[in-house]
Amino acid sequence: MNWEANGWRVRVNFVSLLNKIRPKDHIDLLRDLLPSRYSPLQESGNGIQSVYLTEVPPALADVLIGLIGKEASLLSQQNVESVPQKPMQVENADLEVWEHHIESEIESDGQIPETEREALIVARRGQGLFKQRVMEIETQCRVTGVSNPVHLRASHCKPWRDANNEERLNGENGLLLTPTIDHLFDRGFISFEDSGVLIVSPVAHAPSLTRMGVANDRIINVGTFTEGQREFLDYHRESVLLQARH
């Protein structure tokens, strides 16, 4: 598989483990081993989308290898050719798989009322009750100015995949965006300052952004946000906006 971002291409081979583990299930064991900067995990055990290529400290690696077992031990003993670390983005397919996994858990959770389960699942696509609540705050796409609701999605500032059920339906956790702008925002290629200034990720492909309606040659201010929106945007800037790591 070739991964490419900002002009760099790296050939990557993946080995699917038979004994797969979920770090979040072992976060009490892993938390004290996480690095203070550029950690691959949040303290809650959730991943950090903005960290797409980072060093795993030896102590953390040893514990992970122990949790996975023999397969990982054999792999760690092999001589692996090191390559320069260059910025790469998380593949969209990986996020889609994870979101489908969360969606399945919600669907099978009998403790959540059926109407709420439906609202939570539809909210993932920026529609339904969540969109209604966002429309009480927002009137148009922040970037393109499109105001027809048919052409707009309610995009989560704190992504649906990272939010709890209350946050998934909180209108202040959303912005109305056209589908292309929603894609750029959800995948961390753009974000917003509290002042309304548009932030473009350093790993974004500038010509593509221009064709998608995001100017790169001037400062764009999309207007003010509510206090609640600013809190959720802080999470987006810290955990979703893609940053170049050196």
CB of 124 closer than 8 Å to CB of 160: yes
Q: For position 82, what pLDDT does the model report?
A: 37
Predicted confidence band of residue 16 (pLDDT cuts 50, 70, 90):
low
23-34 pLDDT, tens per residue? 888 888 788 888
Q: Is the pLDDT of residue 139 over 90?
A: yes
The pairing of beta strand 174-177 with beta strand 190-192: unpaired
pLDDT at 78: 52
**What's the chain's average pLDDT?**
82
Give the residue-averaged pLDDT of 182-204: 94
pLDDT at 81 over 50: no
What pLDDT, on a 0 to 100 scale, did the predictor assign at position 223?
Answer: 96
Q: What is the DSSP letter of 91?
A: P
Q: How far is residue 170 from each of residues 2, 18, 133, 153, 174, measured CA to CA in Å?
A: 38, 38, 7, 15, 7
Q: What residue spans define the domains of the chain?
A: 2-77, 92-239
3-state SS track over 55-69:
CCCHHHHHHHHHHHC
Mean pLDDT of 216-231: 94
pLDDT surpassing 60 at residue 3: no
20 pLDDT higher than 60: yes
**C-alpha span between 98 and 96 (Å, rounded):** 5
Instruction: Please check the confidence at residue 226 and state whether its pLDDT lies above 90.
Output: yes
Is a pLDDT exceeding 90 seen at residue 156?
A: yes
- From 3-17, 22-36, 165-179, 183-197, the region with the lowest mean pLDDT: 3-17
Residues 138-160 have a mean pLDDT of: 96
Q: Which position has the token pair 């974000």?
A: 191
pTM more than 0.85: no
CB 129 within 8 A of CB 166: no
The encoded tokens of residue 197 equal: 């200034």
Distance of alpha carbon 56 from alpha carbon 81, whole angstroms = 16
| Confidence (pLDDT) at 83 | 36
Nearest 5°: the CA angle 179, 180, 183 is: 85
Spatial contact of 63 and 17, defined as CB atoms under 8 Å apart: no
Where does the chain have alpha helices with state H? 27-30, 58-68, 70-77, 92-108, 114-123, 128-135, 165-168, 179-186, 206-211, 227-239
Measured CA to CA, the distance from residue 8 to residue 192 in angstroms comes to: 26
Task: Give the mean pLDDT of 84-105.
Answer: 63
Q: What is the pLDDT of residue 118?
A: 93
C-alpha closest to that of 174 among 112, 129, 113: 129
Q: Measured between alpha carbons, how far is 239 from 152 in angstroms, rounded to an integer?
A: 24
Q: What is the mean pLDDT of residues 143-172?
A: 95
DSSP 90: P
